[in-house]
Amino acid sequence: MASYNLIENWLTELKYLKNFSANTLRAYKIDTYHFFDFLNSHWGEEINLEKFSRIKVGDIRAWLTVRINEGISPVSNARALSALKHFFKYIMKKLNIDLVPLLEIRTPKFGRRLPRPITFDKINLILDAVRDKESWTDLRDVALIILMYGVGMRISEALNLNYKDFPFSEVLTITGKGQKQRIVPVLPIINNAIQSYLNKCPFKLNIDDPLFVGKQGRRLHMGALQKRMAKLRLALYLPAEATPHALRHSFATHLLDESADLRTIQELLGHSSLSTTQRYMDVSMQSLKDIYLKTHPRK
């Protein structure tokens, strides 16, 4: 159990000293626990602090092979290996042992998937379907969709907003991954949509309460919006890419289609690297190729 206690201590440090997000911490915990559960079975004995120095490259490769055979994607395996390397760095410092060879294992290769945006027409179709009902939860979901699409927010960023953050001025400061902040402009339609939701919300929200709440008056969980979008996909015969996170992809792709430059989109999304934003250029070019092939008279 000592090894698992060390994992918990490591996760606590990542949370409070390095400001890792809750989603990243959850994934790192699952990945590292999975590795040590595997190692206990692989060795036929429970690993403890004294045995950490016995971990070899072959053990990690065997673990990755098991994950591949279980159908876990290369992207997930790359993330899991990254989590493990973070943890190894931590225990090298805490236990003063040499695990450098383990840090040199190459990350599994995978083809980078292009972002899959929702078309502007389909976003309007989603909004029209929700507006038809006009309950306070429908108005809340409309406000969330318009907010996320309007400023390129992640769902976690939107749900972390508090009542005191509203009304937004002409700009909004968003706290993203790793507590990194970015400033984005806010369209009047966003404030109007949120105000319509708040006018019908049955709960009296105080300054430190969450801005978006569920039926019990507590902070809305991202699963609620994901389920709502899943139902809309079925009802409206939408493609599988019509997810809450795709609203962020749509924001970037549609701006690019309207001739916004990559540097501006990078700032609005809060990407550290321009290469991450570059993916949206690939999406836009692919769309252009599709239109060309469908419409050129000599195709």
SS3 assignment, position 171:
strand
271 part of the active site: yes
Told to judge if 154 belongs to the known catalytic residues of this protein, a careful annotator would answer yes
On the question of a cis peptide bond just before residue 185, with omega within 30 degrees of 0, the verdict is: no
Query: CB neighbours of 186 closer than 8 A, spacing ≥ 6?
Result: 150, 151, 168, 169, 170, 171, 172
* Distance, first Cα to last Cα, the chain: 65
The single residue of 116, 177, 219, 233 carrying the catalytic annotation is 177
Q: Rounded to 5 degrees, what angle do the CA atoms 210, 246, 64 make? A: 100
Q: Residue 290 and residue 47: Cα distance in Å, rounded?
A: 54
* From 79, 219, 233, 245, the catalytic residue: 245
Point out the catalytic residue in the list 182, 248, 249, 254.
248
Q: Which of 40, 43, 147, 35 is nearest to 91 (CA)?
A: 35
Question: Can you tell me the distance from the alpha carbon of 221 to that of 22, in angstroms, rounded to the nearest whole number?
Answer: 13
The closest alpha carbon to 244, from 257, 260, 226, belongs to 226
280 is catalytic: yes
Residue 262 near residue 279, CB atoms below 8 Å: no
Nearest CA among 90, 79, 96, 78 for reference residue 6 = 90
Q: Which pair of structure tokens corresponds to residue 15?
A: 């949370």
Is 245 among the catalytic positions?
yes
Check 122, 154, 228, 249 and give the catalytic one. 154
- 3-state DSSP assignment of residue 81: helix
Contact 156, 21 (CB under 8 A): yes
Catalytic amino acids?
Answer: 154, 177, 245, 248, 271, 280
